[in-house]
Structure 1
Amino acid sequence: MGNKYVVMLLVLSLVVLLLSGCGSEPKTETVVIADSNEVSSTDQSSRPFQVQKIYRLPDRFVNRGELLGWSSGNAVIASFGAMTILKRGTVERLTYPYEQSKAIPGIGKVTSNTTLSPDGKYICEFSRSSSETTLRLISLQDGKEKEIDRISTRNESYVQYVSWSANSSYIGYLVENPFDNGADSLYIYDMGSQTSGKYQLKGIMKEDTLLSVNIANDGRSILVELFGAKKGQKKILTMGKVSGKNIEFQYERQIGGDSVAWMNNDQFVFLGTDNSLYEYDRRNGELSVILEKVFDFEFSPDRKNIAYTEYDQNVTYVGKVQGRNILYKEPVYRGIVPTHIYWNPNNKSVLLQGLKQLDSSQTASTDSPSKESLIIELK
């Protein structure tokens, strides 16, 4: 009897031990790895774009100067007095806290045809005479000048649409020849090698009206906006690539806006006729809508953020670019319709320039909307 009792106790103890062992098994955890177009719930709960401070630029800088863009993370520049190609003006810098501008030491007077590099280190300007057009590169750090091209205009050709690649490595400029069946050419200046190449625009008709050129960071891929003669003078965006001494065009599409941008050497973004923001990938021919009802847009230099305005609104939004999605779309300013949007080189501040709009609750003024420029500093 005693032995049976002992056995029963041993069995009971063994059962309890086994049950307790089952309860102490290691816990398992499932980890889900999101793809490139998704974010974690932690990221979704955060708001990366918050307005820290807004600075209004002085009236003189806004209404008397010609804004060129950011020269550093906390300074913008404008030219003053250069109202025509024949009249030169000064270049001034407005630094934090953006109250009073000063002339940049060592910089001579420039023409109205002046374009600032995206990194804020150089300006490129061209001037015309009766027989030629001269392009100069001017350093904003020490004022040193370098002539990068001199083009004869005796055959009625003319230079226009000077632009920089987003990485400030290349300068593009169109040379149009409207007479004698002369072919239009694109010149690309390489900042590294300090040389310029001339390329014929294959497929562009003499009846087409060229509007702009946009060079990718590789210096070999370009976007050209034009009014197409074969398309009833509708606005067309064409994509081409350097091939020998020519630009061979591979894609075209009717567009609705003026702004276009390379995301990388293979993908670019533009506004369609339906006010949607499209991205085209030439590697697979895929066309995607990334935003709707867009009036204008500008990507940050690192292509990770976007500032944009919606059609028929006077609100500016900022969002984060992730794949083909725009996330965290936050309104950052209401009250002006921007004509220009500039991100600073640090991707942390946005400069807006446009016309001030009255709220519907305010009494309408007989005066036309005033011009306004402001800097939105983001957290």
Structure 2
Amino acid sequence: MGNRYVVMLLVLSLVVLLLSGCSSEPKTETVVIADSNEVSSTDQSSRPFQVQKIYRLPDRFANRGELLGWSSGEAVIASFGAMTILKRGTLERLTYPYEQSKVISGIGKVTSNTILSPDGKYICEVSPSSLETTLKLISLQDGKEREIDRISTRNESYVQYVSWSANSSYIGYLVENLVDNGADSLYIYDMGSQTSSKYQLKGIVKGDTLLSVNLANDGRSVLLQLLRAKQGQNKVLTLGKVSGKNIEFQYERQIGGDSVAWMNNDQFVFLGKDSSLYEYDQRNGELSVILEKVLDFEFSPDRKNIAYTVYDQNITYVGKVQGRNILYNEPVYRGIVPKHMYWNPNNKSVLLQGQKKLDSLQTSPTDSPSEESLIIVLK
């Protein structure tokens, strides 16, 4: 009887001990169910990217103007009325809080082929005529103009694919000659020396179709997109290097998207046919996958952040670039499929423009979804 009493006391003591241990550190969890479209940011303190504010641009900027990009950390510009390269329009600036725009004073009317420099200080305008095509720089600060080049069009030469290097130091443009096949040339304008140099493209053959130009920040390397005739008109990306008076091709790969970007003078990023985002290093020929299932992307000016979209999603993500990895992939906006993404010069805001997600009531085949432009401010 005594032994049985002792055993009962031991069991009772053990139960009390377990219960007291469980109750000494209570754990609670709060679940908040939102009853509106607003998302609480109280649990985002540990996240590297937080949406601080979203500004919707006026409808005319999204559906009637041609967005060119950022002219400063808190201002975007667009052209209005320049529907064709022969019809000129006005430039307008939209500043914080992005409600009312103003025509940029001191700037005359511009053509539809007007390209804003990445630093927002200049536009490069292409003005064609029956005899020649003129390229000129226009300062957005004081309206001063500087002629870059004047290309004769009498021999059926056409200026195409004008683009800036990411540091706004160089302008590249192709001159295609339809009469003398194979005489396509790449011109590179140096903003520092204010001179333009002509280079012959070695590697372009009959039937190839050039599509775009993307210069490295040193003005010595260039990425060309083209349709290769010998590869069944597949789109390829070629790496060219300045060699004397020529551009010599050193690397080529089939691609699946339109966006390419230089990370530095040796490494560049592009979309493959498998929708993977690749990085290539021309110093050692190393090819790496940094993201998968990517539809489009845009790096911040400092190359430390990336905005991108993926297939089958109406979501824009932002991630942090660390080496060959993209970390902290955060969704920052849902509801549109961006066709343009622009980071501001401060690397803190992203301008998106694209089609709104189709509404369930929008069932008529004649209905076309409207465009939407918005600025996402990150903190």
Q: Relative to 1, partners in 2 of residues 1:45 and 1:64: Cα closer, same or farther, differing over 3 Å?
A: closer
Is contact 1:275–1:293 with CA below 8 Å preserved after alignment? yes
Tell me if the contact between 1:163 and 1:214 (Cα under 8 Å) persists in the aligned partners.
yes
Question: C-alpha offsets along residues 20-77 of structure 1, whole Å, 9 cap, x if unaligned?
Answer: xxxxxxxxxxxxxxxxxxxxxxxx9931111000000001121111110000000000
Counterpart of 1:66, as a letter, is: E
User: Are the aligned partners of 2:182 and 2:204 in contact in 1 as well (CA < 8 Å)?
Assistant: no
Superposition map of 1:229-308 within 5 A: 229-308=229-308
8 A Cα contact 2:182 2:205, kept in partner: no
- 1:1-379 to structure 2, matched below 5 A, reads 46-358=46-358, 362-366=360-364, 367-379=367-379
* Residue 56 to residue 45, structure 1, CA distance change in 2 (3 Å): closer
| SS of residue matched to 1:230 | helix
CA deviation profile, 1:258-291 (whole Å, cap 9, x unmatched): 0000000000000000000000001111000000
8 Å CA contact 2:304–2:322 kept in 1: the answer is: yes
Show CA shifts across 1:228-257 (max 9, x none).
011110000000110000000000000000
| Superposition deviation, residue 182 in structure 1 | 4.9
TM-score by length of 2: 0.87
CA shift at 1:205, angstroms?
A: 1.0
Quote the Cα distance in structure 1 between the aligned partners of 2:357 and 2:160. Answer: 33
Please give the secondary structure, in 1, of the residue aligned with 2:62: helix
Residue ranges of structure 1 left out of the alignment (5+ in a row): 1-43
What is the CA distance between 1:365 and its match in structure 2?
A: 3.8
Dislocated runs of 4+, deviation >6 Å = none
Query: Rg bigger for which structure?
Result: 1
Alpha-carbon distance between aligned partners in 2 of 1:50 and 1:111, rounded to the nearest angstrom: 38
Contact 1:178-1:206 within 8 A present in 2 as well: no
Q: Tell me whether 58-67 or 297-306 shows the greater mean CA deviation.
A: 58-67
Conservation of the 8 A alpha-carbon contact between 1:115 and 1:162: yes
Distance verdict in 2 for CA 1:201–1:101, change over 3 Å: same
Q: Distance in 2 between matches of 1:220 and 1:311?
A: 34
C-alpha distance in structure 1 between counterparts of 2:353 and 2:368, whole Å: 16
CA distance in 2, matches of 1:181, 1:293: 38
Cα deviation, 1:117-176, whole Å, max 9, x if unaligned, reads: 000000001111111000010000000001110011110010010000000000000000
Deviation (angstroms), 1:180: 2.7
User: Please, what TM-score do these two structures have when normalized by structure 1?
Assistant: 0.87
The one-letter code of the counterpart of 2:345 is: P
Q: Are the equivalent residues in 2 in contact too, given 1:136–1:149 (CA < 8 A)?
A: yes
Q: Distance in 2 between matches of 1:77 and 1:275?
A: 31
What code does the residue aligned with 1:309 have? T
Distance 2:363 2:103 in 1: 36
In structure 2, runs of 5+ residues without a counterpart are: 1-43
Aligned partners of 1:61 and 1:101 also within 8 Å? no
| CA distance, structure 2, for counterparts of residue 182 and residue 155 of structure 1 | 14
What CA distance in whole angstroms lies between the structure 2 residues aligned with 1:263 and 1:130? 39
Kept after mapping to 2: 8 A contact 1:338/1:355? yes
Distance 2:276 2:81 in 1: 38
Q: Give the share of equivalent positions with the same residue, in percent.
A: 87
The answer (yes or no) to whether the contact 2:187–2:199 under 8 Å persists in 1 is: yes
**SS class of match (1:368):** coil
Cα drift, residue 181 of structure 1: 2.8
